[in-house]
Amino acid sequence: MMSAHDTLAAPQPTAKPLADQQNEPDHRKLRIDKVGVRGLRFPIQVRDKNAGTLQSTVATIGLFVDLPQEFKGTHMSRFVEVLNAHGGVVHVENIPDMLRAMQTKLHAMNAHVEMEFPFFLCKKAPVSGKAGVMDYTIRFDAALCGTDLDFLLTVKANVTTLCPCSKAISRYGAHNQRGEVTVQVRSEGIVWIEDLIALIESSGSSEMYSLLKREDEKAVTERAYENPVFVEDLVRNVALKLNARPDITWYRVEAENQESIHNHNAYACIEKG
């Protein structure tokens, strides 16, 4: 007859270890360049140009590493662990730390991160001075291949463009449209988002605003009429300003005008480096 002591002392069954399919060998012997997670929405804070200020926003993030041919899969949860371990403040200065952590935690040679998020600026109307918030699309693409770091900053901003040809041949005004400009840069130092936005907005026929009173609308439309710009002029204007910055080592400038009198868009691109 078993005593209570014998019952308590009875050996417990050993838990069976969970299968790790990712670490199993793969017979196809094909290396994967990038594998990971994409479409992860995460609250972040981005450092503004003004010292000591942080802007809160939400980024859509992708995290990837390379996978050697001998492994079947990667560990997806580890990407999210790395992201959470680095907190909510994102700046170009701490992205290399995140990439190195991915290399270590996932035993990878190469690590990649992509982040796209809305960036907001308060902008005053040109005459009334009324303030309104403008949003811009920003993207970080960074890769650490061994110890070699590559960082690509993308800024998208809209401008107004007025057609020089239409102005030259028309008796009553000229057609204008919204132009979307995409600037991608590589640099030797920090390039501030705000500086690229200002560079783009100064290159069209007129800047755009979220809030315009009647006197502001008059000023904006007259400025555009006095400053006609083809899509070709737009990318050249941006490129000239980028050329004046020796810290920018490579760039691509794209502009697309959403034509108001054509059933197509006008497009131009300049790349350097």
Q: What domains sit in the chain, N to C, each tagged with a CATH number?
A: 32-272 (3.10.270.10)
Residue 9 pLDDT:
59
Q: Which residue has the higher pLDDT, 205 or 7?
A: 205
> Which tokens in the block code for residue 171?
């008796």
Closest-CA residue to 59 (of 137, 142, 122): 137
For residue 203, the cross-strand partners are none
Residue 71 pLDDT:
76
Give residue-wise pLDDT tens across range 43-57. Answer: 988 888 886 688 999
* Average confidence score pLDDT of the chain: 90
Residue 1 pLDDT:
53
> Which tokens in the block code for residue 98?
């995140």
E strand or H helix at 94: none
Q: With left for phi above 0 and alpha for psi between -120 and 50, is residue 136 left, alpha or beta?
A: beta
Residue 212 pLDDT:
96
Res. 94 pLDDT band, cuts 50 70 90: confident
Q: 162, 224 in Cβ contact below 8 A?
A: yes
Of 24-33, 130-139, 219-228, the one with minimum mean pLDDT is 24-33
Give residue-wise pLDDT tens across range 104-158. Answer: 999 999 999 999 999 999 999 999 999 999 999 999 999 999 999 999 999 999 9
CA 5/CA 13 separation, integer angstroms: 18
- Helix (H/G/I), strand (E/B), else coil: 81: helix
Q: Which CA distances in Å does 36 have to 18, 86, 148, 265?
A: 22, 18, 20, 35
Residue 47 pLDDT:
86
Q: 183, 166 in Cβ contact below 8 A?
A: no
Asked whether residue 3 carries a pLDDT value surpassing 90, the answer given is no
Distant-in-sequence, close-in-space partners of 217: CB < 8 Å, separation ≥ 6: none
